[in-house]
Amino acid sequence: MDENTVSNGNEQDPSKSSRRNFLKNIGLLGAGVTAGAAALYSGDIFEKKKAATGESRVLLTQDNKLVEVDSLEMKALATNPTKMMLEKGREGIPGKRWAMVIDLSKCRNARRCIAACQEAHQLKPEQYHLNTLQMQDNAETAPYHMPKNCQHCDNPPCVAVCPVDATYKRGDGIVLIDNERCIGCRFCMAACPYSARIFQWTTPKDAGKHNGEAYNVELNVPQKLGTISKCLFSADRCRDEKLPYCVSACPNGVYYFGDENEDAVTNGTTKETLRLSKLLRDNGAYQLMPELGTKPRVYYLPPKNRLFPFEPSTD
């Protein structure tokens, strides 16, 4: 990155050490500077205009420090937004371990979560990042509806088999796909035991409309022909400290979402925040096919004490 080359260059040249210190102090602005504060300090301009006369501006650096910089010393950062988002999307959100809890006793197959998800990720009606399945464990037990998304496995077989590192696991637990890199071999689809992945077989929805838009790896949009897509735990919303699209859209209080490190999850409908460990312990939480060793980050609460009759889905 630019600032690295600048500071490295200075290390070999003691005469510029004051400038180096200065650069260090303001904690150079990088590719990830948040809205309104994107600027890169230009060494050249500084050399030429030591006695800067412009008005000063207050900026927020990448590590959340406020700094004052003379406006003449600022230069808009010429960046490729897709690349910027790709780089940012490789890093998890520091300190977080996202987890989801799905309370099956509340799911009435309203499918609003699915609609919100398909809307956000530009999916066609038959493309699911999240699907509710009608389940029945055996002939004697009661049928129930089960929302099923990517389990964001901690030992993800899909990531293991990807030949180009297009699908990857982040520090905050989210498994993402870089559609700018995916070669469309679909090995990850074969490897995922939860059938969580979909492929863009045909031209994605509204492809024409989104032509030329920057690609957001944390949202997988615009969707790209010939590549993979799947649930992203709404990584873009996590970054904004908001609940995922599906979680907020559910009218029945099925979803809880939150940070395992904080041991807190929030219900998307009631906005009530609970202790994750207690919720899991008190309700006999389980995971899908844990025997496969995939270590899912999604927990299910069993479909007991349902306060409504079961209505079979039409499919």
Partner 1 sequence: MEKIISDLSHHIRLNKGFFLWMGFLGLALIACLYAYIQQLSYGLGVTGMRDVVSWGLYISNFVFFVASSLIGMLISAVLGLIGMKWVHPITRIAETIAVAFAAVAGLVIVMDMGRPERLAYVFMYARFQSPILWDVTVITTYFVISFLLLLLPMIPDLAVLYKRFGNLPGWLKPVYKALSLNWCNLPEQNRIIRRSIYILLILIIPAALSIHTVTSWLFAFTTRSGWDSTIFGPYFVSGAFVAGTAAVIIAMFFFRKNYKLQDYLTDLHFNNMGKVLVLVAFVYLYFNINEYLVPGYKLKRADAVHLRELMSGQFALIFWLVQVCGLLIPIIMMLFRRMRKPLPLTIISAAVLLGAWFKRYLIVIPTMSHPFLPVQHVPENFKVYTPTLTEIAITLLSFILVLIIITLISKFFPVIPIVETANDKGLDPLKSIES
Q: Which residues bind partner 1 (CB under 8 A)?
A: 126-128, 131-135, 148, 157, 160-166, 181-187, 189-191, 193-195, 197-203, 225-227, 288-289, 292, 313, 315
In this structure, what token pair is assigned to residue 212?
């030329």
Partner interacting with residue 126 (select from partner 1, ligand SF4, none; CB below 5-8 Å by kind): partner 1
Partner interacting with residue 153 (select from ligand SF4, partner 1, none; CB below 5-8 Å by kind): ligand SF4
Q: Which residues bind ligand SF4 (CB under 6 A)?
A: 150-153, 156-158, 161-164, 166-167, 175, 177, 182-188, 192, 194, 196-197, 228, 230, 294
Partner interacting with residue 313 (select from ligand SF4, partner 1, none; CB below 5-8 Å by kind): partner 1
Omega before 251 within 30 of 0, i.e. cis: no
> For helices 2-11 and 17-26, what crossing angle results, to 10°?
150
Stretch (H or E) spanning 190: helix 187-191
Instruction: Compare residues 61 and 229 and give the one whose CB is closer to ligand SF4.
Output: 229
- What is the DSSP code string of 218-253? TTTBS--TTSEE---TTHHHHHTT---HHHHH-SS-
Instruction: Compare residues 74 and 150 and give the one whose CB is closer to ligand SF4.
Output: 150
3-state DSSP assignment of residue 59:
strand
- To ligand SF4, the closest distance from the beta carbon of 169 in angstroms equals 8
Whether the Cβ atoms of residue 109 and residue 144 lie closer than 8 Å to each other: no
Instruction: Compare residues 177 and 274 and give the one whose CB is closer to ligand SF4.
Output: 177
- To partner 1, the closest distance from the beta carbon of 109 in angstroms equals 10
Residue 193: count other Cβ atoms within 10 Å of its Cβ: 15
- To ligand SF4, the closest distance from the beta carbon of 186 in angstroms equals 5
Max Cα–Cα distance, the chain, nearest Å: 83
